[in-house]
Amino acid sequence: MTTIVDSIRKHQKLIVLGAALAVITLYIIPIDQIVNAIPPQGQAGIARAVQHIQNTRDRIAANTHIPADVRAQIDAQLAATQYRLLAL
């Protein structure tokens, strides 16, 4: 047991860095997948993606257990993605 604790203490910075990287990846990948999943032929695909993003923004705004600054940051990222979709 002591060996495990010592190993965790030695690698604490790497563990925290890995967890932070995982959180950032989970925020970035779904947004990029939505943008890349749009079929090239269509407005219907864009409209569905924009509606999906708006629904996600509404759900995040309704979650009061998420800190306000985190909600604002996520909403800003989704708004930027929504703007890029509408620009297509």
The domain tally of the chain equals: 1
Q: How sure is the predictor about 39, in pLDDT bands with cuts at 50, 70 and 90?
A: low
Mean pLDDT of 68-75: 86
pLDDT of residue 15: 83
Supply the range of the domain harboring residue 76: 2-87
Mean pLDDT of 42-56: 79
More confident: 73 or 30: 73
pLDDT of residue 19: 84
Q: How sure is the predictor about 86, in pLDDT bands with cuts at 50, 70 and 90?
A: confident
Q: What is the pLDDT of residues 24-34, one digit of tens each?
A: 776 776 766 76
3-state secondary structure the chain: CHHHHHHHHHCHHHHHHHHHHHHHHHHHHHHHHHHHCCCCCCHHHHHHHHHHHHHHHHHHHHCCCCCHHHHHHHHHHHHHHHHHHHHC
Instruction: Using only the alpha carbons of the chain, give its radius of gyration.
Output: 18
Mean pLDDT of 56-75: 85
Q: Cα 29 vs. chain centroid, distance in angstroms?
A: 7
